[in-house]
Amino acid sequence: MDSMTIIALTSIITAGVTTAFGTMAPALGEGKAVATALTALAQQPDASPTITRTLFVGLAMIESTAIYCFVISMILLFANPFWNHFLAQTAGQ
């Protein structure tokens, strides 16, 4: 295998693993956060606005992790900096 094939395979596999774990962990975290918030709302209905506001801020922070993983996957697939390096090396030969 030449170096371009190795870079392509490594990029695709890494993007897949990043997307898999980067979406699985935040999904579990969001589920736990919502379940805990619903329990808190059931126990203290008077604190509903505070709990809801805090829940949405927390969900946004958790979701940002998944978005960062998605961005890294897209960079690896479509804007990989290693491509330009190896293309420049092969053009110079």
Would residue 66 count as lying in a domain?
Answer: yes
Total domains present in the chain:
1
CATH code for the domain in which residue 42 is found: 1.20.20.10
**DSSP-assigned states of every residue in 4-24:** HHHHHHHHHHHHHHHHHHHHH
Task: Report, as an integer, the average pLDDT of 16-34.
Answer: 93
Would residue 87 count as lying in a domain?
Answer: no
Would residue 86 count as lying in a domain?
Answer: no
Q: Residue 50: which domain range?
A: 3-80
pLDDT band at residue 93, thresholds of 50, 70 and 90? low
Calculate the average pLDDT of the chain.
89
CA–CA gap between residue 20 and residue 70 (Å, rounded): 10
Would residue 88 count as lying in a domain?
Answer: no
pTM of the predicted structure, to 2 decimals: 0.73
Return the pLDDT at 76.
Answer: 85
On the question of pLDDT at 24 being above 70, the answer is yes
Would residue 93 count as lying in a domain?
Answer: no
Would residue 31 count as lying in a domain?
Answer: yes
Per-residue exposure over 26-65, b if at least 16 CB sit within 10 Å of its own CB, e if not: beebbeebeeebeebeeeeeeeeeebeeebeebbeebeee
Return the pLDDT at 84.
Answer: 75
Return the pLDDT at 54.
Answer: 95
